[in-house]
Chains A and B, each alone.
Chain A
């Protein structure tokens, strides 16, 4: 039976994680993401799971990675400076191929910035924040409902591809309360990591299946294996051989890129005959959609495209749109980040308009209506 609740976005993230099977949380208090860890500290022990308030942000993700290596689905959550601190070990999880979900409830920055105000300025950090090449998967929920569903999907993708997956929430979405329909748990699609099918004696820990993803044992389940952040061979041991380095570097990217169409999610509204399209995500998309509804009633041919996965970015879809429309407007709560992707993909086929709001506030629908009217 599905249930109707009135929840905060951060609570929905925590409850989505539990529904996905998360049984370990390591974290450190930071605004505006703290409610996630508070809910986890209450609910995890009820389910026999483990919650740990660690000594710092780095330890929060480290303990999560450790728990994942020992077989549990694990999560950490943070904001702003805390996410910056986690970057090193995000890289560890990409390299050692350890599933973990990392939630970033975005606030203003750089540095301590605006702890209680909204921002979308971590979008490029999500893609490139840790050093070294890797393939990023990041969801941007735009409602309390989506906080729940995208967190479940994040666990599914982390488990399927054996790597970190990011939930890029923001202060508005995280602290907003609204109606949410909790689906019957039996209707949820839950993905668990592939276990090795061979005996411990025949186990080659990083030998990938045809999908590019190696099955994963857990410490303590009978398999003996080595985990390292060094570039490693199929056995998981450090290598300096150029062909092995290249193989590993390519595989941790291609295992995701090959399946980008499976991962990419987006929502289109009023797109059929649109001549102007607003591309927006997260909290901004709520103002944008309101503006578009009002202008549609006035006969303006404007549509909305909302990426739910920011990474991988819906490139093919944006390319198609750019061929059909005159203008794409990209309003963001940053100095222009996703617009760089849109400009690159549109490649001059239509006009792309960069709109930035970096004063700690959310766009009002009227402001977005003004942008549209200027072009209509």
Chain B
């Protein structure tokens, strides 16, 4: 059961949530709530934004300023919110399809601008809400309702994508490490003063992905994630052969002096007023 201070962030009137029993997304929501509670962010100054999909239903359950936008567009909405009120702490939650397929352009440009938003990508390798279609992170040779003969599309490495596009804090965890999730989320949310942060949290969808890929029970998935994830420090000592099929977790990038976008825009305002 959540602690009382964490519970105070829940809109209990709207529970139970829509996620399937055993879904990994609840672990992520709990970690987000523990992180914002630990950081003592006032509910009135916290904006939780999201796109469309299972993961994106999270804001509805959180008692803050919450913004459930359109599919893929959450970071573009959140950019407007942050620009209009830079005092707000913004946690923008997305699914893998939401962030890297329909919203891929918004994602890379939010990274590039280095705007103070914490992006949380809840990667369950599938479009869950629409019934299990392949996403840009559905592993090759696995099955989905739109990849009945096995997926052939190579996957995105979300963290590498974020680093390449210019995000200044990038980390990954899986729902099998809830304490690591909380630690990384805290750092990512605090990083807003320095710029754009990305935390990919590998979740699972036993209902839509698992049952077509021999991981039909929730626990099978947690076990799979635990057994196939390796902390970055250890991974750095391993060969490419040894790392095949493994997920590297931990912090990949943390740059504090790149210049956060809303602060840089304040400089534009000063220049314009002088001109």
Residues on A facing B (Cβ under 8 Å): 23-24, 26, 42, 45-46, 48, 50, 52, 54-56, 58-59, 62-72, 74, 88-89, 92, 200, 218-230, 237-238
Contact = CB atoms under 8 A, between A and B. Distances in A.
B76 A54 contact: yes
A66 B68 contact: no
Interface in B69-84: 69-70, 73, 76-84
Given A66-B81, A222-B44, A225-B65, A237 B73 contact: no
B66 interface: yes
Given A52-B83, A228-B60, A65 B77 contact: yes
A47 B63 CA distance: 34
B87 interface: yes
Nearest to A63: B80
Given A58-B76, A63-B83, A220-B88, A237 B109 contact: no
A196 to B, nearest CB: 13
Interface string B200-241: 000000000000000000000000000000000000000000
Contact of B84 (A59, A72, A88): A72
B263 interface: no
A92 B81 contact: no
Contact of B68 (A42, A67, A226): A226
Interface string B43-75: 111010000000000011001111111100100
Contacts of B275: 46
A55 B105 contact: yes
B269 A45 contact: yes
Given A45-B268, A66-B80, A220-B45, A229 B69 contact: yes
B44 A66 contact: no
Given A70-B85, A226-B60, A237-B60, A59 B67 contact: no
Contacts, number: 137
B272 interface: yes
Contact of A66 (B14, B67, B269, B273): B67
Contact of B272 (A23, A46, A74, A222): A46
The secondary structure that dominates the B interface is: helix
Interface of B: 14, 43-45, 47, 59-60, 63-70, 73, 76-85, 87-88, 105-106, 108-109, 265, 268-269, 271-273, 275
Contact of B85 (A54, A64, A219): A219
B79 A220 contact: no
29 contacts: A24-B83, A50-B84, A52-B80, A55-B109, A56-B105, A58-B73, A63-B76, A66-B79, A66-B84, A67-B80, A67-B81, A67-B83, A67-B84, A69-B77, A92-B69, A219-B85, A219-B88, A220-B45, A220-B85, A224-B44, A224-B66, A225-B66, A226-B60, A226-B67, A227-B66, A227-B68, A230-B68, A237-B14, A238-B60
B80 A62 contact: yes
Contacts of B109: 54-55, 59
Contacts of B70: 62, 88-89, 92, 229
Contacts of A55: 76, 105-106, 108-109
Nearest to A49: B269
A359 to B, nearest CB: 36
Nearest to A73: B84
Contacts of A72: 84
A307 to B, nearest CB: 32
